[in-house]
Chains A and B, each alone.
Chain A
Amino acid sequence: MTAAAPNTFRAGPDERGFFGLFGGRFVAETLMPLILDLERAYEDAKKDPAFKAELEHLNTHYTGRPSPLYYAERLTEHLRKDAPAGKGAKVYFKRDELNHTGSHKINNCLGQILLARRMGKTRIIAETGAGQHGVATATVAARFGLPCEIYMGATDVERQAPNVFRMKLLGAELHPVTAGNGTLKDAMNEALRDWVTNVENTYYLIGTAAGPHPYPELVRDFQSVIGREAKEQMLAAEGRLPDTLVACIGGGSNAIGLFHPFLDDKDVAIVGVEAGGHGLDVENGHAASMNGGRPGVLHGNRTYLLQDDDGQILEGHSISAGLDYPGVGPEHSWLRDTGRVEYVPATDREALDAFQLLTRVEGIIPALEPAHALAEVVKRAPRMDRDRIILMNLCGRGDKDVFSVARHLGVSI
């Protein structure tokens, strides 16, 4: 299904929170008044120069922005070795893994905690999958002196032990969630249940560009600093825009952050990489909602979802705890259907190989999430001409994944 191409891909969402068919505000009545408050507070903040100035100050001095744009020379040469003559695009990384807390998640958390403070909320809750968003949330909560409770699937608690300890060190209270399969979707359900119960004093700091309007919009806006910087940096480095952008997609916040400022640059091809898990042909063995799911409604928005024939949500699977979510941000669903962005899968195995390749060739240990994006770069760069440029969002570092990668490689440490 391909909708007619709009004049601009950057105007959404509409006033009701829709990107075409996708998005919206599908929440229980208890939350609705608060969602409307949040929308007003965000509209207000957007117009306030002091809000923007404070966020920029924190981005610079707390997070360490701008993150570098890095030409991965050794990886580029490595991929050219087996490429046909004249092939092998230059590979650049946007290094958001160098941010304070180790991923792009901090960009969004700083923006949202400023909003929470503006709204007079005194308690922060969040869900987390890989723990990156939990760590970033616990970090900003510590920085602003607000109590923080994090919901994390029990399975994820087990496979992300270093991040669990980090959150505790930062003073967050951690709630392991055993409902369902004990992964990100179940953690999000529990966070929503907490929010419904404590709606008066609590701010729900959603970690990805999904959920009810205005979350997809505001998370995207806070993450778009990635793409704005990358555009400027690429013009400075190469005097032109990249030919192709690549980013991994769980909920899709790092991806939309990179993509959004480039959406109307028609010569820039854009590729999102979903978690292919054991392979798209394995039933419930992947987390590629746009390649292996269909539209539905979950967690406050309409979007592509992994679901069975009866509309029951599937758990999905990925080696990466940050990608095994059965849905995706609604703007991605819309970009898929309009054809502006191409979404492809990368399997667990491909991600694991890419993880090891980058570690050896560039001395950068990536998180398993961007290792999926890298798997696509490894496939795509050798097919592109040498004078082409591919820019990948290296959105997280892999320290947290070292133990689970060892386990997958059969190494005991």
Chain B
Amino acid sequence: MSVLVNKNSKVIVQGFTGSEGSFHAQQMIEYGTNLVGGVTPGKGGTTHLDRPVFNTVAEAVQKTNADVSIIFVPPAFAADAIMEAADAGIKVVICITEGIPVRDMIYAKDYVKKRSVTLIGPNCPGVITPEEAKVGIMPGFVFKKGKIGIVSKSGTLTYEAADQVVKAGFGISTAIGIGGDPIIGTTTKEAVELLMNDPETEGIIMIGEIGGQLEAEAARWIKANAKKPVVGFIAGQTAPPGRRMGHAGAIVGGADDTAAAKMKIMAECGIHVVQSPADIGETMAKALKKQLA
């Protein structure tokens, strides 16, 4: 078991022949992901990285039975790519692209929701189930196999957390990069829920950022449903209000979406909140020990 992607996932790449798509497709193949082909409109019928290229996602699904897609197309065309994947019957759509207009995402999110498709991202590092499938841009070697699930809005901070977990003697079941945009397909709560219900996951790390209410929503859900220890961190304790900190969604809008406010709610809901990102691994180790004692 694992969540979202595993060794049986048949993955296609949208924006397959572009520079980003090519580079990361190659990396995913080397990792061992079952990458069955890709889509680049106008290049159908050719071969790229020893895999077939299709003009449309529909054709790719028909010929390869793909069920997972990863999107690298430029921001102006990314929402269209998300909807194309959903329409073609892809079950899990992972969008890496950063910089998609918010209006496009309002439409795309509504579109995938009505088709019961799981969208991860956009503006995310993707999803990895170690030793089974890497569908993203993360450095695979950091993620040793194990029983800790990670949900995170950030890319490199996810790698940091995974590295600490491994150094603390554990490993990763599945790491889900949900993305740092104001509109994302899968929320913190939904991703935590997947890991909470995964029998192979024994502990969950939840990494959030300033801005929005996703962590508070997840915390309340955890309070009512937690069966496993959750360690939480919110980046941006020192961020000033009203300034966008890199990610489009990372902006303090009011008193209730600061790091301090989120950490308070998370602690009240029984999450092991760390003040320093350097303590994520150790805190998870302690929480698991306590659970067993």
Chain B associates with chain A:
no
B-side residues, CB < 8 A to A, are none
